[in-house]
Amino acid sequence: MFRKCLVVFLFFFTAIFSNAQQSYEYIGFVRINDTVNISYKIALTEHMGKVKGYSLTGMGGEHETRSIIRGEYYEDKKELNFRETGIVYTKSPITQDDFCFINTTIRDFTFKKSDKIKADFIGLFSDNTKCVNGELMLSPLEKMEAKFDKVIKKINNSKKVSDSIKEKLSSMKMMDSLNMNILRKDQTLSVFSKSKSVSLIIYDGGKEDGDKINIKVNDKSLLTHFEATNTQKVINLDLIDGKTSIVINAVNEGSIAPNTVIVELKDGDNSIKAMSNLKKGEKTQIDFLKIK
């Protein structure tokens, strides 16, 4: 009886495991007009041929944008189709209707096996009119991370790099840094949301060094001289129609400059991990824009 139960359990466990979603991340760039290269990353999950995830364009730049991806994977044909369908967040001042969304078909492609991805893409506005076409080139993120780790080791062994920088890098992984949205001086991060509320999760993601911040929401004080520690502080905010503005001000730079406080934003549909990179007195802003 025990053996029969074990066999049945293993059968269902194997079936569930084999049908579970698989996650894949690739990084590289998109090329426009054969001359302009823009950093590009995709994070995808695949389940029974259905693909979803997000793209990250212009990582760390003034126009960094995260977009929603939907697509299809045909294992028998070794073909991946995906398209950007909307904006999660952007640092660009242009409106959502002005964005050019990537649509592509990648042939001779297999998840976990394809090391170098190269394909043409068609750029479409939200009304499906053409904007700009180009080419994308990607590689698995794990391979790039291995190279990144080698660079970190060289930096840690170097006598020319200060201990404070080494300390910051020691707790950093490439995957974490790529998934981190850096909040810089006078930048506005615009997040498009359908939700009625958002959770702010605030903490020091590395060594506690006394970083303090002030936070205002729609010009009303939310936190004053708040010192970030490894213990997470969770604040739930209601989002108003139109725009909800969150302003973060660096009170100091702690014992290790600059001010680097982690702020996670979760609205039910999206999860964004951000980190301040501010000197004393500098401000950065996050706007939640309600969409239907």
Q: What is the pLDDT of residues 196-212, one digit of tens each?
A: 999 999 999 778 999 99
Whether the bond between 258 and the residue before it is cis, its omega within 30 degrees of 0, is yes
Residue 9 has pLDDT above 50, yes or no: no
**What's the pLDDT score for residue 2?**
40
Could you tell me the two tokens for 97?
């209707």
C-alpha dihedral, 139 to 43 to 176 to 263, nearest 10°: 150
CA dist 124 → 51, 84, 248 (Å): 19, 9, 35
**What's the pLDDT score for residue 148?**
64
- Residue 61: pLDDT band with limits 50, 70, 90: confident
**What's the pLDDT score for residue 141?**
87
Contacts of the segment 238-242: beta carbons below 8 A, 24+ positions apart: 238/196, 238/197, 239/193, 239/195, 239/196, 239/197, 239/198, 239/267, 239/288, 239/290, 240/290, 241/290, 242/289, 242/290
Higher pLDDT: 167 or 29? It is 29
Residue 9 host element (H or E): helix 2-18
**What's the pLDDT score for residue 191?**
95
**What's the pLDDT score for residue 138?**
96
**What's the pLDDT score for residue 281?**
98
Express as a percent the part of the chain with pLDDT over 70: 84
- Residue 168: pLDDT band with limits 50, 70, 90: low
- Residue 169: pLDDT band with limits 50, 70, 90: low
What number is the average pLDDT over the span 219-238? 97
- Residue 21: pLDDT band with limits 50, 70, 90: low
**What's the pLDDT score for residue 147?**
67
**What's the pLDDT score for residue 153?**
74
**What's the pLDDT score for residue 192?**
94
**What's the pLDDT score for residue 104?**
98
164-173, 206-215, 244-253, 278-287: least confidently modelled range: 164-173
Task: Set out the domains of the chain in order of their start, with CATH numbers.
Answer: 21-141 (2.40.128), 180-290 (no CATH)
